[in-house]
Structure 1
């Protein structure tokens, strides 16, 4: 697939997930196993977009440590142009979770302090200004400071470049609040949408109106295995995800949905068809044990798309 480079600026760190193999015993040593992989909402999306054939450049803070090497290797494996801000005396951000045998989270620790150093001043660097001006799309996430997101959104709009965001979590999505009017799309789940609106609508079909009232012109709201809602200035649609016969891990599913959606959007698809592509990409990811499925490709997406129902218009 040809086209201008997608510039991704946001979270790129290491995820560690420890799964307890037996019954959880608080305050004691529990047998289990560790799984380590590169993660971060923006980085997951960047790798998916690259595997879907797009030219992708990543800009994110990173430490001069072994975790930074894991992120760099993952970027190279996915074909992402990796141009980090490296702080040799700092630790690369990380997310460490302890998970029960049934998949429920026991506790997690997010060490994300380094992202605070991605300040608005970074956006003034000539190389980054030129990269933004040349991009066909800017993609970011709520791992970055609110003032940086606002400055990034303003710069993208001034240059006529669409910018999309990934909400990350209910706590972090609030960082987008001042940037909402400038976003081309924001990808979120219902809990994150509720943070922006202050309450959930009685009918899920009310999400577009509620989010527009909060200042967001277009977005996508995921609802677990239920219908995914997308809206823009022309209307709103819903797509019901197809059944997944063998669930691997839901980690990264929302990021891949954003990737499939944006890939189709950049190809000229309308919102309903773009949402179908997003749902298909998420279906590929949830069948994989990885946050970014190695089998992600345009061919795999076409196969998955054949199982996704047509979008329905929301009244």
Structure 2
């Protein structure tokens, strides 16, 4: 029987506008829009469902066409979608303007609705039952700090492991009070710097700083450079495989988290789990979407052949 994962976090609309030529500030720029459902939690939920897990997603959503688009994408991925729908509100959105080479010009995050995912909503019977049935709880830092703290406490009392996705440097600090109650945290360099208030030359110093904050296990991604992962007694490093045909790096971190968690739930150790994460990320960046629709256990196994062994640092 497939293991059950409860995802609590962001499920919204991502809009990306790409400028065709050189950017002209303060002027009209020819370009094109691309729109798709996104959100750290939602991307991870879709990936995990495609990897064969029984995934339930709970997030706030508006009663608008954007909310319907998210619901349709959830259904297509095979997710048990259980949103809190606010009929008079807009579904959250993230709108980015990109230069022709993909660099961000400016972005606007309309995420006010996530504030309505308050701790008291975790006491609703359907949510309590979802906690009881889950083998793993996954949340992201789109949610309020007090809600994240309550999720960590509730998971601990239920004897369930809880993982978290950092989302952004501004949002990861919401997780800081909850770090001792989080089993796995997925973050990048900028988020690690924001959380630890440090920028060491050696990423292993981030590991010590995160452990000092109470975090037991984590994965720090560094773009094309070697990622660093740690548990309570080990630190490993892994060089991501080179991908020649990169279409879009959006969602790579969420897919890496999905791959790592899928391997951990299957009983693999940390070194092997980050290999699964790197393979999932490599599949995703070849897709123009935030999640790769062709992701499957079989494709992941094939892609693992391209991923080197993890190096044990300590």
Q: Which residue of 2 aligns with 1:177?
A: 176
Moved over 6 A (4+): none
- Distance in 2, matches of 1:295 and 1:117, equals 34
Q: Which residue of 2 aligns with 1:71?
A: 70
| Superposition TM-score, scaled by structure 2 size | 0.99
Residue 42 of structure 1, CA deviation? 0.3
1:105-136 residue CA offsets vs partner (Å, 9 max, x unmatched): 11111000000000000001111111101100
**What SS does structure 2 have at the residue aligned with 1:171?**
helix
Residue 202 of structure 1, CA deviation? 2.8
1:229-262 residue CA offsets vs partner (Å, 9 max, x unmatched): 1111131111100111111100000000000000
- Distance in 1, matches of 2:288 and 2:178, equals 34
1:25-63 residue CA offsets vs partner (Å, 9 max, x unmatched): 111111110000000000000000000000000000000
- Distance in 2, matches of 1:40 and 1:213, equals 29
**What SS does structure 2 have at the residue aligned with 1:153?**
helix
**What SS does structure 1 have at the residue aligned with 2:152?**
helix
1:270-297 residue CA offsets vs partner (Å, 9 max, x unmatched): 1000010000000001111110011110
Q: Which residue of 1 aligns with 2:42?
A: 43
Q: Which residue of 1 aligns with 2:210?
A: 211
**What SS does structure 2 have at the residue aligned with 1:217?**
coil
198-207 or 97-106, which deviates more: 198-207
**What SS does structure 2 have at the residue aligned with 1:33?**
strand
- Distance in 2, matches of 1:126 and 1:164, equals 22
Residue 201 of structure 1, CA deviation? 2.5
Q: Which 5+ residue runs of structure 1 have no aligned equivalent?
A: none
Q: Which residue of 1 aligns with 2:167?
A: 168
**What SS does structure 2 have at the residue aligned with 1:75?**
helix
- Which residues in structure 2 correspond to 1:1-315 (within 5 Å)? 2-315=1-314
**Residues 149 and 175 in structure 2, CA contact (< 8 A), matched pair in contact too:** yes
- Distance in 2, matches of 1:222 and 1:125, equals 35
Q: Which 5+ residue runs of structure 2 have no aligned equivalent?
A: none
**Residues 236 and 310 in structure 2, CA contact (< 8 A), matched pair in contact too:** yes
Residue 207 of structure 1, CA deviation? 2.4
Residue 4 of structure 1, CA deviation? 3.1
**What SS does structure 1 have at the residue aligned with 2:102?**
coil
**What SS does structure 2 have at the residue aligned with 1:306?**
helix
| Superposition TM-score, scaled by structure 1 size | 0.98
**Residues 136 and 160 in structure 2, CA contact (< 8 A), matched pair in contact too:** yes
- Aligned pair count? 314
**Residues 196 and 214 in structure 1, CA contact (< 8 A), matched pair in contact too:** no
**Residues 247 and 286 in structure 1, CA contact (< 8 A), matched pair in contact too:** yes
